Amino acid sequence: MPSTHSAIVGFGMEIPPQRITVEEIAKHWGRDPQEIIGGLGVKEKAIAGEGEDSFTLAFQAAKQAIDTAGIPSAQISAIFAGSESHPYAVKPTSSMLAAALQLHPFSFCADLEFACKAGTAGLQIIDAFVRSGQITYGLAIGTDRAQAKPGDALEYTAAAGAAALLVGPADDPKAIARIDSTLSFTTDTPDFWREAHSPYPAHAGRFTGEPGYFLHVREALRGILDVTKTKLTEIDHVILHMPNAKFPAKIAKEFKITKEQMQTGFIVPVIGNTYSACSPLGLVHVLQQAKKNQKILLVSYGSGAGSDAFLFTMLKDGALLPKDERPITYVSYDEYRKNQEVAHA
């Protein structure tokens, strides 16, 4: 019989150890670093190293999710990879991942695009596949080597990283967090876009806030609470999409979400906006710390525009992922720019 609910049975992440500070970028452009940092609430961002792209980041995150769950990869029969920066315009990241991870060859595979919510869109699809009984285990991945035009406001926050969520039936002994409910709120709002042959995205300035991010996050948040008859005071952890630190903080203030509810998944100040991986990475941080029976609320956002909302219940205490032993290294702006140019070559 199909499972009534699906659950996260494993999770993983990949955040490159290479960083560039907002101060370093601001000084290059003759800007006041404190003004930029104060405006964004971001101090530094993670950047991909030589030879790293959305595929390699996704592979590392997915491998960690499989390894920590202890589930043979041949039992996984679906993988959806969400990204704004797939390595190929025509050649799926998901099929490369399925082969590299040694998933079952009879697998559902597809690449997803919906700006920064492509990773959570994949989680919704996997959730539906598991609940229908079509598959037993599936992977949803958000991964990006985010792009920004030199000198653009996005350059201060556009980061690199990946998060992988391995999903199975809620009655599986390995189940960590049950997916209680999910919904989406979507409109045609052109706040951020990249044309087919353009190397960098464009955006509508302040309109990325209203009616973009704020409208969609508000509506999705209200919607999930209404559908599930849940009060915000019943939620232990809240993760909102983090294009910077200011936007989610504003939503938190409007809805009276406390600092304690936000703090575990609020990672943007030290890694930047990892686009499709952003809110899933926040969720991975929460899944490591949350306790049995605690409730988690996640609301993603993707320009264009839409938000996915999820309500989870922890079925057991979270467990820490293996510690990343790689040292954090900082690069100059010139080194960073050279790295970005190689990626676009």
Catalytic residue check, 109: no
Catalytic (active site) residue 278: no
CB neighbourhood size of 45 (10 A): 29
Q: Is 116 a catalytic residue?
A: yes
Please identify which of the residues 203, 237, 241, 285 carries the catalytic annotation.
Answer: 241
- Which listed residue (14, 44, 109, 116) is catalytic? 116
What whole-number distance in Å separates Cα of residue 205 and Cα of residue 207?
5
227: how many CB neighbours lie within 10 A of its CB?
13
Which residue out of 14, 52, 84, 155 is catalytically annotated?
84
Q: Contact, 265 vs 286, CB < 8 A?
A: yes
Instruction: Give me the residue label for tokens 């969720």.
Output: 283
Interacting residues of 75 by C-beta distance below 8 A, sequence separation 6+: 104, 136, 137
**Phi, then psi, of 334 in degrees rounded to 5:** -60, -40
Tell me whether strands 329-330 and 304-314 are parallel, antiparallel or unpaired.
unpaired
* Residues with Cβ within 8 Å of residue 26, at least 6 apart in sequence: 32, 33, 35, 36, 37, 156
Chain centre distance of CA 312: 16
Angle subtended at Cα 311 by Cα 305 and Cα 312, rounded to the nearest 5 degrees: 135
8 Å CB contact between 73 and 79 = no
Query: What positions carry a catalytic annotation?
Result: 84, 116, 241
